[in-house]
Chains A and B, each alone.
Chain A
Amino acid sequence: MINPSDIHRQAETAKLGMWVFLFTEMLLFGGLFIVYSVYRLRNAAAFHLAAREMSIVIGTANTIILLVSSSTIAMSITAIRKNNKRLALILTGLTVILGFLFLINKYFEWGEHFSQQIYPGSSALALRGQGDVLFFGLYFFMTGLHALHIIIGVTIIIVVMTFISRGRIHSDRYSVLENGALYWHLVDLIWIFLFPLFYLIT
């Protein structure tokens, strides 16, 4: 018979591994934040004008969507620990829907930029000068990399949902859900900084 304290230790080790991975993600985005700040310092006027072209409404909506999704996945852990499988599935399902909602907003946002000839490598953008090319280049790269993380996160949560419904994740063994949730929170955490940098600070 497996000793519960052994499972507990295994879960903690798995969690530490997850955190170490999250640290590499933080350093990756941290590096990009430095690139952004330095270019902003050297192209203050261009960044100021370019940032004003961002849609604050979509940015704010997406921020709130991610915050709500973070709370639903956090609550799903409470649900599974209280043995409420149905609620856990509803909450993780909601998280997935919110993740898709974020991506749909992003699609329309990027589409709007593309229709104004703003995209990486665009000749119309190049005519606007180096500062604009840098701002939008960083914008597309950083929010694109973030969106890729959303896609990965949604995939992970869908896998976690199949584990919950098959009973592989339950009140005594929920480490996979916990670590999946940690990944999702990190994606939220990164957006918390991307939002002011690209939308709010003009």
Chain B
Amino acid sequence: MDISLPAFLSDHLKRIILMEKEQENITPYKTFIIVLAVLIGLTLTSVALTRIYLGAITAVAALVIAAVKSSFVLRIFMHLKTDKRMFSVLVIAVALLISTVITITFLDYLYR
């Protein structure tokens, strides 16, 4: 039995499905407010951490917090969480490229 819909109708349906799918991807305001609160909390934490003397750990702690903050910005504010995988893969690749260059530079300076 042929149950295929007339072309104009199936086109119309496709459009409705597409619109509904888009609607699902709208990040609610609440999410942004929560993420903002977390980001400000992390900022104040890193300021407080560097005020107490922790020696060499200070630098590492401040940079780890910066990395966590940037992952929130990338995933939520910049929509990587809801966008196509491809965008995340590209960002990770660029982050790896930069960190590799930093590592190689430091290996050179520390052990030459």
Residues of B within 8 A of A (CB): 14-15, 18-19, 22, 26-29, 32-33, 35-36, 39-40, 43-44, 46-47, 50, 58-59, 62-63, 65-66, 69-70, 73-74, 76-79, 83-84, 86-87, 90-91, 94, 97-98, 101-102, 105-106, 109-110
Say yes or no: B39 contacts A67, CB within 8 Å: yes
Say yes or no: B47 contacts A189, CB within 8 Å: no
Say yes or no: A71 contacts B28, CB within 8 Å: no
Contact partner, B32, options A38, A42, A75, Cβ 8 Å: A75
A168: B residues at CB distance < 8 A: none
B87: A residues at CB distance < 8 A: 15-16, 19
A19: B residues at CB distance < 8 A: 87, 90-91
B73: A residues at CB distance < 8 A: 70, 185, 188-189, 192
Say yes or no: B109 contacts A64, CB within 8 Å: no
**Who on chain A is nearest to B50 by CB?**
A200
* Interface size band for A: 35 or more
Residue A201 at the B interface, CB < 8 A? yes
Separation of A183 and B27 alpha carbons in the complex (Å): 19
A78/B29 contact (C-beta < 8 A), A4-B15, A189-B73 known: yes
Residues of A within 8 A of B (CB): 3-5, 8, 12, 15-16, 19, 23, 26-27, 30, 33-34, 37-38, 41-42, 56, 60, 63-64, 67-68, 70-71, 74-75, 77-78, 81-82, 178, 181-182, 185, 188-189, 192-193, 195-196, 200-202
A23/B26 contact (C-beta < 8 A), A33-B102, A201-B59 known: no
**In whole Å, how far is A7's beta carbon from the nearest beta carbon of chain B?**
10
A201/B94 contact (C-beta < 8 A), A4-B18, A78-B32, A189-B74 known: no
Contact partner, B19, options A4, A23, A26, Cβ 8 Å: A4
Separation of A74 and B73 alpha carbons in the complex (Å): 10
**Who on chain B is nearest to A194 by CB?**
B66
Say yes or no: B47 contacts A56, CB within 8 Å: yes
**In whole Å, how far is B97's beta carbon from the nearest beta carbon of chain A?**
8
* Best-surrounded residue of A30, A63, A200 (most CB of chain B within 10 A): A200
